[in-house]
Structures are given as structure tokens and as C-alpha cells.
Amino acid sequence: MAKKEINIFENYLVPKHEIMTEEEKQQLLKKFNISLKQLPRIKERDPAVKAIGAKKGDIIKIERKSETAGVAYYYRVVV
């Protein structure tokens, strides 16, 4: 059987993942008045993290399609 490489972002379950720059990161932490430890986490070995090449300590901005808000942004820190 012919095999192909999976692009996980094609699947309807996977939202858009984006690495935040250092500047955006500081802005976010300041806006919500929190430290990195308080953010929701995402594993370094997560397929989506591997696909976009994020490293430990990066914050990933996730663009979720939301039924209640249209588009909702969610943030996860790579651990």
C-alpha cells in the first residue's frame, strides 16, 4: 500500500499553531499578569509542536475555531 507523509494540520481537529516571538511573549504575560508556570502546557513531543519546530519555554498561540466567539486564542507553554 502506498504511503504518504501525514500533514496533521490538514485534519479538521487540529487548529493553527504559531510560535510567539519574545516580545509578544512578554506582552502576553504582562497583559494577564501571570508567570510562564501558570499557562496551560503542551508537551515538547506533541506532534503539532514538532511540526512547527517549537522549543522548550516557547509560548504557542493557538487559533481555535469557536462556536461561541468565532475565533478564540489560546496559549500553551511548551514543557
Interaction site with another protein (CB under 8 A): 1-8, 10-15, 17, 40-43, 46-49, 62, 64, 66-72, 74, 76, 79
The smaller minimum CB distance to another protein, of residues 18 and 29, is found at 18
The whole-angstrom separation of Cα 56 and Cα 50 is 11
Q: Minimum CB separation from another protein for residue 61, in Å?
A: 11
Q: Minimum CB separation from another protein for residue 27, in Å?
A: 15
The smaller minimum CB distance to another protein, of residues 21 and 41, is found at 41
Phi then psi dihedrals of residue 15, to 5 deg? -80, 180
What is the 3-state secondary structure of 41-52?
EECCCCHHHHHH
Output the CA angle 66-68-72, nearest 5 degrees. Answer: 40
Q: Minimum CB separation from another protein for residue 26, in Å?
A: 21
